[in-house]
Structure 1
Amino acid sequence: MSFLADYDAKKLENIIACNECEAIALAAGYHLATNKIGAVYMQNSGLGKSVNPLTSICDPEIYAIPILLFIGWRGESGKNDAPQHKKMGKITLPLLEMLQIPYSILEPDLIKVENELKKAYLHLTKIKGPYAFIIKKNFFQSYEPKKTKLNKYELTRKKAINLIMENLNNDEIIVSSTGYLSRELFEYRELRKKDHHKNFYNIGGMGCVSSIGLSIALQKPDNKVIIFDGDGSILMQMGAFSTIGKISPSNLIHIIFDNNSHESTGGQPTNSIAVNFPKVALACSYKSAILIKTSKKLTKTLKSLSKMEGPILILIKISLTLNSDLKRPNKKPTEYKEDFMRYLLNLK
């Protein structure tokens, strides 16, 4: 993805989509307009998300739209990976077989890759419909992005999280998004050896954290619920803005940490540079929306939250740091869930 971003509009037309359904639809539109074959790259978690357009638009029995899928095989059997990838790793190939999408597992051999390309091209042009290339870990050579720009903001994700946590009452319920946000928050708690049970580390289901937080806020109206969201995550499920705004729980604070990147997967750019999140939130009936670029303003905002009615959006612009040394939560996800649920059930 970093390579494609560097050569965008030069050798290849690379459109950065917000989620895999959108990417499939873009490739379908490309084929309809040009009679050419589009390519979509994704992690296998995205395969689950894209089942609907693959079966109801692209399938040979519907519109027969050829798309070449490049699917990264997270959670491959026998390989060490994060727990949220294990189930999808097990079912990736069976799912493709159930969807009747033929596939090839690519090997790092140019002659073999060329043969697989010929096989794929025959299916794409004769049968018409999706064909998948399965990409194992370390298949591609490492690539140093040429266009990576470290955003010049005062706040880093770590500094912003530390400021937030130090200015809370410690009785808030926190729900954090997948990726480095949950890992950074986990490290904050781990260093202090306490209060993991007050957090829900949403390590999977990218884009779902805002809806999980909303539902918890509705069930616990006497407690502040704070969502730690990322720009890539909220862009995946922007419809959640309207649901939050319509229901308008007064105890909900929605914080977006925006570094214009999918940092945990290599720092590839998101589309957040084109979005004014505070205006979107206000248009969706959030009570307040605040843009923050400095620690001074963040501290001032945090001290005033007790006087404000939710839902509140706080957009924090942070630097892109590309920190890959963050620890992951070290217990089973179910253990964290059970601790978190016990905490919630003991609240008023």
Structure 2
Amino acid sequence: MRRVPLPPVLACGALALVASCGWGGAAGDEGRMPGAPAGVTAAAGSATTVHVMWNAVTGGAGVRAYEVYRGTTKVTEVPGSEHMVDVTRLRPSTVYVFTVRARDTAGRTGPPSREVRARTPASGADDRSAPSRPGHPEGRAVGSRAVQLSWGTSADDRGVASYDVCQGGTKIHSVGGGQTATVVTGLRPGTRYVFTVRARDAADNLSPASAPVRLTTPGIDDGRDTAPTGFRAATHRARGAYYIDLSWVPPRTGGVVTEYQIQLDGRPATSLVWGGSAPRARATYSFYAGRLAGETHRVRMRARLPDGTWGGFSAERTVRTGGDG
């Protein structure tokens, strides 16, 4: 966990936490084990990575996790709310076979999906030329939780391996280099989005971002479903100074939340970013409030969601340094 000053600067890089492939599966008959994931695709992102996606499995006791296999080897797993992952540390110029299996809340693992194949391109270790900027991006909303995007082909001296779709500076989706259109799902109703596209070659050189595509999804989202819950605040004194202690339950947003903005007295105070495994249950954090006793502060927080937008604010709490909080 690290603390960085606001405003946070995010690069459009690899992202393990994304919401481009829908929301988590619903619980159903607990006597049934999960079925095989459908809609599995695999596309090389560079000479050493492959992007694997699939549809959510519904029914059964509810999906706790998805296991991703390369051949017969399990290479990674993601929470049941996530439906895509970048498989890394692969070899260039190699064909790989991937399958996905769902594991339910009772610990039962369902059958594997159909096999999908992806070939990583040749290594471009000595390639330092980035692809050109993708051109003519366009888009439209296709419902309250999805948009359709398209863009012009990028040029590269050795070929484009993949395209990254970014929202607000955060990579939320990826497609193969031969694809210049996609549908991004898992969005919020009634929300303004700014999408850009960047091309990536086999050596992981990234193009400049395309022109922005500004879209608003129809519907209404008041932010209550995306706000941290169970928010508590107190103070303590240590080494001659006062600190504000926070605890909360992360919002359930179809993915893991790794970044929060904390407001103090109506203004941004600090940004909290988890560099490792972000908490899924109750989380805690303390930050410096000053050396004076008897000061009263108002504090609240919000999360950056997997779709790249900020969620709703938590309830606001009032604390007093030197008091009980």
Instruction: Name the TM tier (shorter chain).
Output: under 0.3
- Normalising by structure 2, what TM-score? 0.24
- TM-score of the aligned structures, taking structure 1 as reference length: 0.23
Q: Which has the higher helix share?
A: 1
